Structure 1
Amino acid sequence: MNPPVLPEFEHIAAPLAHWAARTPEHPALIEGTRVWTYADLNEAVMAARNILLAQGVIPGDRVAIMGDNTAAMIILLLGASHAGAWIVPLNPRLSEREIDEVGHHATPTCLLFATSASAKTRQHAERCNADPLVIAGLGGVAVIRTDHPARPEPDRNIAALIYTSGTTGRPKGVMLTHRNLTVSARTSGAIRAIGPDDLVYSPLPVSHILGFTGVMLGTLTYGATLMLAPRFDPPGALRAILHHHITLMIGAPSMFALLTEYAALQGMKTLPPHRLRLIASAGAPLDETVKSTVEACFGIVLNNGYGITECAPTIAQTRIDRPRRDCSVGMLLPGLEARLAGESNGIGALHLRGPTIMAGYYRDDAATASVLDHEGWFDTGDLARFHDDHLFIVGRSKEQIIRYGFKIYPVEIEAVLNAHPGVRQSAVIGRGTGAHQDVIAFVEPAADAKIEIAELLDYAARSLADYKRPTEIHLSPALPMGATGKIQKSALIA
């Protein structure tokens, strides 16, 4: 399947007008029983744009938008962008403190709430005393204007401020340009060969960079159809595969693992015939146990990828025509250059340069200068190696553990623990400072599994060098997870 030939889109909302003119009746979004054609979606985005302009939004304003995976959320995001605003997507699962922190830093002119399908969004809107805003066809929408509107920013190239998860401190606002996002969506979509015949399942939040660019923009760029899911749940995902006949699904490894586990509980060790042509893991490290288990269940290759918010987000993807048995994250996106700084034994800090690298951190020149040099090289913070032309991520440089002078990468230990039949998932962190840190593992047992810590320590010892073996293992009924299915290691206390 070859993706359609496209013009160069200079704005993230530009694909809508393109496809509305060419395939106006083709479905763009499916939300429950409602179908939005490309003509419908383009018209709704323009209507939202006009209402926001009438509300006083001008180019360079920051406009924050909160909501779950709904058509209203997407329409508000693209409508505000069409009005020239820097959009600031917000996940309703954020705490009040986190939302207030982002608001204080981004100084948005207004905050929009897509309330109709999200109880949490309604709660946040009520706390802020937001007023109803009528936009035809969108159901519940509310708005609050800031008491002291901030000055608009002069840079018209910025499309979005995406706030990072802040695992090591306060969240930072990543400034992504229209070119960053359109190039990322276009290139990653081409590698996946997305086309108008595809039905793409979307459980990842569009408020997160992967759901926003890799899934939502990637689908709309190629005139395909996006099936929205408010959040990931295994029964809903299985229905989407077997009854709605989705053709493509992108998700975190934990999502595929949970779906496989649920299918087994329903008596399906392998899925019945389906129309999925591509499944892709992204957003968190993939280990070989999950990969092989998912592939056995789905009957197709689980592709892999790697990206971070500052790179809009995709950095590398495995290719459909070059399937991998290992957990390589694939080849670099065309247009990206890479180097391994401080390389030792083939492993170094991954630095990148290219068209998808962020413009910088908003209102934080020091943080920007710490990762982005004057030649455009960006330090990802990840340790990596290349084998042939394929990239392997060894771990986060900040998560690297030093023990007895040896460098230890948590992902290796996690892969060993995850291979135990009684383990659903695990997370490894270091405790202490200097040249001797303890290796602390947190393990979430699989459903109905009974694990003895002593037995799990012995199991790890058989597969790991002595200096890599966990000092302690803690069992947890559920490891803390973010909205995208990534384990939140900052929430783990050893």
Structure 2
Amino acid sequence: MTIDLPAPAFRIHDLISMHLPRLADHPIFIEEARTWTYGEFQATLTALAAFLREAGLQPGDRLMIVGENSVAQTAAIMAASTLDAWAVIVNARLSPSEIAAIQDHCDPRLMFFTHAVSDDAREHGTARGATGHHIAGIDFSCTLARAEAIAEPVCADSREQVAALIYTTGTTGNPKAVMLTHSNLGFTSATSRASRNTGENDVIYAALPMSHVYGLTTVVLSALWGGATLHLVARFDARHLLRALADGLTFFMGVPAMYLRLLALHEAGETVVAPRLRFVHCGGAPLDAALKNRVEAMFNLPINNGYGMTEASPTITVVPYNQRCDDMTVGYAIPGMETRVVDEQRRIVPQGEVGELQIRGPNVMKGYYKAPEQTAAVLSPDGWLSTNDLVRQAPDGAFYVMGRLKDLIIRSGFNVYPSEVEAALNAHPSVVQSCVVGRPVDSDEQVIAYVEVDPQVKFDAAALSAFVAERLAPYKRPQMIVPVERLPAAQSGKILKKAVQEMAARL
């Protein structure tokens, strides 16, 4: 599989116009009771772009879009592209202080709120004096233009012009603003489309938030490349997904937490009917073997695993389309991207040994906004991005993620990879998911495991410890297993490792 780079003049809104007039009457979005066509949506984003231009949005400005998955949110992203403004895509479910921090940092000219589909967005908009509007079928609210906002330089080349500013979830620290160019998003979404042969007959469930690059690129933009139909969902609901599967979904892409909710219904007696489903994908957070096996049994399809990060927009590796894997590989590097695995001195390690993954290619971010020192710390002058993830590579080129470099636990001089311990814990029937962290004690580190317990299964800490002891070397076994009702998680479903580390520090 080879992927051509987007043209120098490419913009992400081209993903709509490229299909016109041929697909003018073809469905592009299903949102609640309404179906939108490609032609209707093109008219909507054109009208919205004209409104935003009249409201004061200029090329190089930031348009801060506070919302949840909807036609209005997608139209705002594409309208910003039309005007060469940056779309700052923010989840409305963030707290007022988090929204304020992002607003202060990105200095938007205008703020856009999807109040019709999100009460949280409405509250954020009301707090900022936003007024409501109805334009070409969409409802939203918008602030007045801020005269003091400063526009960034505009670049004709798609490799330099920023399309989206995505704030990382901050699972291991403070969020950073990742600048992703039109070429970044175009290349990665084209790769996703080609890897699963997305086409006009596909109906794709879009519950992953577009404020997360997985939802934006791998789900929405890749579907638009293929002329597919997106079933937009503001908030994930497992029963809604069951109905959509029965109605003819062909793709479902989710994070582990979404699959766990669907499995809970299925294992409680709900029948999963999915007559057209052909592709199931998991990303955004680590997938463990126990969950993988349960999902594959439910759908009678392989679940395609993958690995990425916001700074890679996001895709780095993928398992080939519908290839069954007996292990937990995250697949092979996408075409057009270089990889290397290095040690602490940045020397390439022998194949099969664990080291930090570094990548270089057209998917790598432009940098962190207003943070040149942070950018320089991870992005070398010759384009190599340090992922801070520990991996090993098999002789056939397949990658296995061992964990975050900073999450590595050193116990009595031995390296303990949290992912290995979590896999052993998650294989027990009483454990929904787990998070393993290190706790410094007397010049050493203890292995501390927090486990989210299945309420339907009686929890026995001693039995779980014995279960893990059969599967792990003594130095890898947790010194403490702490049951919790729910692990702290980001809106995307990713476990907040930093919050768990803080919990362990208080033990």
TM above 0.5: yes
Residue aligning to 2:286: 285
Distance 1:273 1:200, change over 3 A: closer
Equivalent pair of 1:287/1:327 in contact (CA under 8 Å): yes
Q: Distance in 1 between matches of 2:441 and 2:372?
A: 29
Q: Which segment is superposed worse, 337-346 or 436-445?
A: 337-346
Tell me the equivalent position of 1:373: 380
1:336 partner letter: M
Q: Which letter does structure 1 place at the counterpart of 2:229?
A: T
TM superposition shift of 1:147: 6.2
**CA contact under 8 A between 1:58 and 1:152: conserved in structure 2?**
no
Code of the aligned partner of 1:103: Q
Pairwise mapping of residues 237-248 of structure 1 onto structure 2 (< 5 A)?
A: 237-242=241-246, 244-248=247-251
Aligned to 2:72, the other structure's residue is in SS state helix
Once residues 25 and 7 of structure 1 are traced to their aligned partners in structure 2, the CA distance between those partners, rounded to angstroms, is 26
Residues 200, 90 of structure 1: alpha-carbon distance in 2 compared, 3 angstrom cutoff: same
Question: Which position in structure 2 is the counterpart of 1:420?
Answer: 428
Match of 1:410 in 2: 418
Q: Which moved more, 1:116-125 or 1:453-462?
A: 453-462
The separation in 2 between residues aligned to 1:167 and 1:108, in whole angstroms, is 25
Q: Partner residue of 2:233?
A: 229
2:354 is the counterpart of 1:351? no
Does 2:310 align with 1:302? no
The structural deviation recorded for 1:301 is 0.6
- Which residue in 1 is equivalent to 2:446? 438
Please tell me whether the aligned partners of residues 251 and 280 of structure 2 are also in contact (alpha carbons under 8 angstroms). yes
Q: Which residue of 2 aligns with 1:339?
A: 340
CA distance in 2, matches of 1:96, 1:155: 33
CA contact (8 A) 1:132 1:143 kept: no
Answer whether contact 1:114 1:142 (CA < 8 A) is retained.
no
2:86 counterpart residue number = 86
In structure 1, list runs of 5 or more residues that go unmatched.
none
Identity of aligned residues (%): 39
Instruction: Give, in angstroms, the shift of residue 93 of structure 1.
Output: 1.1
* Separation in structure 1 between the aligned mates of residue 495 and residue 172 of structure 2, nearest angstrom: 14
SS of match in other structure, 1:19? coil
The residue number in structure 2 matching 1:50 is: 50
Instruction: Determine the C-alpha separation between the residues in 2 that align with 1:64 and 1:365.
Output: 22
Greater Cα offset, 249-258 or 259-268: 259-268
Output the aligned Cα RMSD: 2.0
Q: 1:181–1:433: structure 2 CA closer, same or farther, 3 Å change rule?
A: farther
Q: Which has the higher mean CA deviation after the structures are superposed, 26-35 or 434-443?
A: 434-443
Q: CA deviation at 1:396?
A: 0.5
Contact 1:27 1:225 in 2 (8 A): yes
CA distances 1:47-82 after superposition (whole Å, capped 9, x unpaired): 111111111111101110011111111111111121
Matches of 2:428 and 2:223, distance apart in 1 = 37
SS at match of 1:180: helix
Q: Distance in 2 between matches of 1:65 and 1:34?
A: 22
* Amino acid in the other structure paired with 1:250: M
- CA distance in 2 between counterparts of 1:428 and 1:462 reads 18
1:383 aligned to which of 390, 401, 416? 390
Mapped to 2, the partners of 1:360 and 1:3 lie a distance apart of: 26
Q: How does 1:92-491 map to 2 (within 5 A)?
A: 92-146=92-146, 148-155=148-155, 157-242=161-246, 244-268=247-271, 271-272=272-273, 274-320=275-321, 322-342=323-343, 343=349, 346-387=353-394, 388-432=396-440, 436-491=444-499
Cα distance in 2 for partners of 1:206, 1:53 equals 23
Query: Compared with structure 1, are the counterparts of its residues 478 and 6 closer, same or farther at alpha carbon in structure 2 (3 Å cutoff)?
Result: same
Amino acid in structure 2 at the alignment position of 1:12: I
> Residue 447 of structure 1: CA displacement?
3.3
Q: Structure 1: how far apart are the matches of 2:253 and 2:144?
A: 34
Contact 1:405 1:435 (C-alpha < 8 Å) held by counterparts = no
- 1:342-388 C-alpha deviation (Å, 9 max, x unpaired): 13761110000000100111111100010011111000110011111
2:437/2:447 contact within 8 Å kept: yes
Query: Shift in Å at residue 435 of structure 1?
Result: 5.9
Contact 2:316 2:334 in 1 (8 A): yes
Q: CA deviation at 1:434?
A: 8.7
For residues 189 and 17 of structure 1, the distance between their equivalents in structure 2, rounded to whole angstroms, comes to 17
Q: Give deviations 1:260-301, integer Å, cap 9, x for gaps.
A: 221121344xx3452100000111111111111111111111
Give the 3-state SS of the residue equivalent to 1:375 in structure 2. coil
Report how far residue 160 of structure 1 moved.
1.1
SS in 1 for 2:339: strand
Mapped contact 2:58–2:151 kept (Cα < 8 A): no
- Give, in whole Å, the separation in 2 of the partners of 1:333 and 1:351: 14
Matched length: 490
TM-score under structure 1 normalisation? Answer: 0.95
Q: Structure 2: where are the runs of 5+ without partners?
A: 344-348
For 2:365 and 2:20, the matched residues in 1 are separated by 30
Is the contact between residue 402 and residue 434 of structure 1 (CA under 8 Å) also seen in structure 2? Answer: no
Instruction: Write the distance in 2 (CA, Å) between the matches of 1:114 and 1:210.
Output: 20
Change (3 A) 1:94 1:180: same
Contact 1:439/1:471 (8 A) holds in 2:
yes
8 Å contact 2:55–2:144 — kept in the other structure?
Answer: no
Question: Does the CA-based 8 Å contact 1:383-1:393 persist in structure 2?
Answer: yes
The alpha-carbon deviation at position 455 of structure 1 amounts to 2.0
Deviates more, 1:88-97 or 1:9-18: 9-18
Matched position secondary structure for 2:143: strand
CA distance in 2 between counterparts of 1:406 and 1:289 reads 26
- TM-score, normalised by the number of residues in structure 2: 0.93
Moved more, 410-419 or 472-481: 472-481
Q: Is 2:132–2:139's contact at 8 Å kept on the other side of the alignment? A: no
Which aligned segments of 4 or more residues in structure 1 are displaced greater than 3 angstroms?
2-9, 144-147, 151-156
